[in-house]
């Protein structure tokens, strides 16, 4: 009898360990959002005016995953005497902290709890995790002597870029700056590990003077001061928003910024993926246009949580699912591809693998791939997507000086800032068309590979590639009949294998039909959409979203 009891206790203890997303931390997924006090008809209660406007500009409706998690569910779990860490409306759950495994068992028996995240078991020697995930960047730092004087590269440039000219010029960024496009009116959320000294360093004087830092939030230690944490995010911010003439000019020095911390440099556990999703949701809710994430998740301190390259399929990991959802809300998600090019990890990390994520590789000042830049694929889909200068990038240091750093952490923000400037030139465009114009402007668009994807973008060229949906995709996508009764047929020609999402909105922006995970092989594919007979007559907006295509069509329902 005692032996049986011991076996039961051992099994319970093992299952509880597998449920952890970090030591003493768990993700609790809810079954639904029933009886919520929130409603999609009152989005102003959980989304800012700017977030609502971004959706309206891109014909994106409010749907159930926009609703916050049910507060009564949260309160019930809190009353079990555990600590609530973060909430995720997109994944419909919360992360908690407790060192009492009996309380976790109690939570699991609640009727509204769908699951407590369990991670697959992998061999204990499945890989090694560096104590510092930013070790590549730190190993390549080289400080620039403050006594060196830099001259303008040309009388035509609007900024004295100093040594940062090379990283801007590679993308033809100075040409957009000359035209007055410097990120004004665009908001970039930077998801990183901390922003040490960003509130005092002279390189950010103009950001502070013009109130361009819109706010900060810590998702690792809620309420903590992000300016006292890792300098990594500060270095990333300097690449986009830095303004120190003669040394460093960022790619979008006049943009607005939210500084968000989902990454804990002291350890590497799955919980950071859930932190990332919560931070992305916050970025969405405050109205950010672009997310820059110089983070990636592959292997963890607890190897039972490890991902494999097979998991980097575009929609499997929690962080990638969150990144894909962010893009459906109209945000442009830009992520570093990873620094695993010289290791046994032969793929990009998560969320760079996402279907709707622009993954950025690294090159040197000559446009040659950096050896550390993660390798992707170019068969079923292109990963990484594009590349920028991530070897010898000019950055701000926490001591007030400047240095060259290397890593895809620094190529990604170069693209994020330029994307903000590009979006200024075509304010009517959707996030998808900005993404595709960046890819189409790149120097190896016709022959993408698994090292640099479509290659190095030319943002001056990209300005002329952001075109209306009808002009770009008319011969590639047909939706008929229109008017329709209860069936719509969609004829899609796909250049690459992809997953398609179809959503139908009424004129109030409410989703009346949704179908996801439609597999489309390379070539021609017909998708039959059968709509409910009780759907009222009138006008509707159909959204078709995939890796290759974003199309909105106005349809008319008749009897």
pLDDT 10s digits, 146-204 = 444 444 344 444 789 999 999 999 999 999 999 999 999 999 999 999 999 999 999 99
> 173 versus 545: which is more confidently predicted?
173
**356 near 328, Cβ under 8 Å?**
yes
pLDDT score for 473: 40
CATH topology of domain 470-557: Immunoglobulin-like (2.60.40)
CATH code for 150-462? 3.40.50.200
Q: 333: which strand partners?
A: 291, 357
Structural tokens at position 476 = 């590639």
**280 near 351, Cβ under 8 Å?**
no
> Domain boundaries in the chain?
2-116, 150-462, 470-557
Cα-only R_g, the chain = 24
Residue-wise pLDDT tens digits, 236-260: 999 999 999 999 999 999 999 999 9
Which range has the top average pLDDT, 135-149, 152-166, 371-385? Answer: 371-385
- The position carrying tokens 């609530």 is 84
Cα gap 471→463, rounded to integer Å:
15
Average pLDDT in the chain = 85
Residue partners of 400: CB distance under 8 A and separation at least 6: 201, 202, 203
Per-residue pLDDT, averaged over 345-357, amounts to 92
Q: What is the percentage of the chain residues whose pLDDT exceeds 90?
A: 60
Cα gap 430→269, rounded to integer Å:
34
**The whole model's pTM is what?**
0.81
Query: Does 282 have pLDDT greater than 50?
Result: yes
Residue partners of 122: CB distance under 8 A and separation at least 6: 303, 304, 306, 308
Distances (CA, A) of 45 to 32, 49, 219, 334, 524: 19, 10, 21, 28, 43
Model confidence band, residue 471 (pLDDT cutoffs 50, 70, 90): very low
pLDDT score for 125: 42
Torsions phi, psi for 284 (to 5 deg) = -60, -50
Distances (CA, A) of 548 to 137, 322, 332, 495: 33, 19, 15, 7
Query: Does 224 have pLDDT greater than 80?
Result: yes
> 408 versus 490: which is more confidently predicted?
408
E strand map for 323-453? 332-336, 357-363, 377-378, 382-383, 386-389, 393-396, 402-405
- At 179 the three-state DSSP class reads coil
pLDDT score for 405: 93
Model confidence band, residue 13 (pLDDT cutoffs 50, 70, 90): very low
Q: What is the percentage of the chain residues whose pLDDT exceeds 70?
A: 85
E strand map for 337-392? 357-363, 377-378, 382-383, 386-389
The secondary structure element, H or E, covering residue 291 is: strand 290-293
221: number of Cβ within 10 Å = 12
Query: Does 515 have pLDDT greater than 90?
Result: no
Model confidence band, residue 333 (pLDDT cutoffs 50, 70, 90): very high
pLDDT score for 214: 98
């Amino acid at each position: 009898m005692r032996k049986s009891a011991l076996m039961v206790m051992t099994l319970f203890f093992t299952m509880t360990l597998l449920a952890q997303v970090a030591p003493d931390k768990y993700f609790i997924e809810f079954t639904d959002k029933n009886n919520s006090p929130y409603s999609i008809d009152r989005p102003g209660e959980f989304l800012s005016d700017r977030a609502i406007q971004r959706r309206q500009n891109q014909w994106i409706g409010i749907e159930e995953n926009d609703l916050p998690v049910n507060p009564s569910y949260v309160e019930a779990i809190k009353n079990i005497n555990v600590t609530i860490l973060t909430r995720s409306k997109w994944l419909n759950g919360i992360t908690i902290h407790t060192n009492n495994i009996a309380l976790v068992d109690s939570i699991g028996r609640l009727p509204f709890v769908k699951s407590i995240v369990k991670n697959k078991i992998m061999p204990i020697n499945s890989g090694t995790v560096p104590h510092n995930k930013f070790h590549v960047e730190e190993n390549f730092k080289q400080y620039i002597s403050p006594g060196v004087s830099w001259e303008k590269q040309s009388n035509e440039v609007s900024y004295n870029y100093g040594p940062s000219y090379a990283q801007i010029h590679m993308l033809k960024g100075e040409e957009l700056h000359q035209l007055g496009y410097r990120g004004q009116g665009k908001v970039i959320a930077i998801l990183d590990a901390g922003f040490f000294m960003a509130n005092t360093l002279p390189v950010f004087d103009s950001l502070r003077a013009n109130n361009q830092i819109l706010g900060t939030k810590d998702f690792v230690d809620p309420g903590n001061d992000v300016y006292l944490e890792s300098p990594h995010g500060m270095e990333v911010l300097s690449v986009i928003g830095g303004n120190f003439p003669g040394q460093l000019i960022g790619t979008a020095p006049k943009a607005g910024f939210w500084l968000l911390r989902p990454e804990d440099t002291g350890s590497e556990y799955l919980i950071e993926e859930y932190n990332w999703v919560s931070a992305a949701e916050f970025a969405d809710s405050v109205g950010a246009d672009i997310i820059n994430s110089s983070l990636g998740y592959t292997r963890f301190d607890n190897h039972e949580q490890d991902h494999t390259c097979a998991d980097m399929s575009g929609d499997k990991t929690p962080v990638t699912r969150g990144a894909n959802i962010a893009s459906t809300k109209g945000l442009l998600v830009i992520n570093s591809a990873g620094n695993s090019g010289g290791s046994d990890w032969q793929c990009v990390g998560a969320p760079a693998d996402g279907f709707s994520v622009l993954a950025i590789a690294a090159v040197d000042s000559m446009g040659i791939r950096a050896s550390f830049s993660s390798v992707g694929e170019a068969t079923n889909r292109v990963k990484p997507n594009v590349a920028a200068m991530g070897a010898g990038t000019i950055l701000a240091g926490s001591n007030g000086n400047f240095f060259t750093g290397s890593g895809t952490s620094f190529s990604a923000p170069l693209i994020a800032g330029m994307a903000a400037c590009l979006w200024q030139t075509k304010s009517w465009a959707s996030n998808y068309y900005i993404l595709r114009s960046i890819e189409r402007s790149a120097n190896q668009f016709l022959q993408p590979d698994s090292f640099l994807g479509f290659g190095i973008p030319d943002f001056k060229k990209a300005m002329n590639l952001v075109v209306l949906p009808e002009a770009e995709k008319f011969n590639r996508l047909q939706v008929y009949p229109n008017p329709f009764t209860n069936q719509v047929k969609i004829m899609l020609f796909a250049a690459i294998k992809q997953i398609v999402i179809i959503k139908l909105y009424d004129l109030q922006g409410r989703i009346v039909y949704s179908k996801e995970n439609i597999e489309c092989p390379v070539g021609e594919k017909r998708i039959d959409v059968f709509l409910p007979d009780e759907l009222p007559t009138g006008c509707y907006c159909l959204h078709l979203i995939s890796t290759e295509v974003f199309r909105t069509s106005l349809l008319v329902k008749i009897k």
